Amino acid sequence: MESNDELIETLKQEVKDELKDKFNETAVGYIHVFNKRLEEKLREQGIEYNKEEFEGKQID
């Protein structure tokens, strides 16, 4: 059975593959579409998503 960490890594790769046709990783704001999709996938698996705190920084 996969540990949560392994599952998260698998899901991250799945998100990357899913987004491949829509956005380049170099596009401004890629992190946000990536995180949003990852959050959905984690929720489907019943895994709590630790929302990234950007602490007053603007991340693109």
Choice between 46 and 60, CB closer to another protein? 60
Instruction: Mention every residue, 6+ apart, whose C-beta is less than 8 A from residue 33.
Output: 19, 22, 23
CB of 47 to another protein, least distance (A): 18
Binding site for another protein (CB under 8 A): 23-35, 54, 56-60
Choice between 48 and 57, CB closer to another protein? 57
What CA–CA distance (Å, rounded) separates 22 from 38? 15
Choice between 38 and 47, CB closer to another protein? 38
Instruction: Mention every residue, 6+ apart, whose C-beta is less than 8 A from residue 54.
Output: none
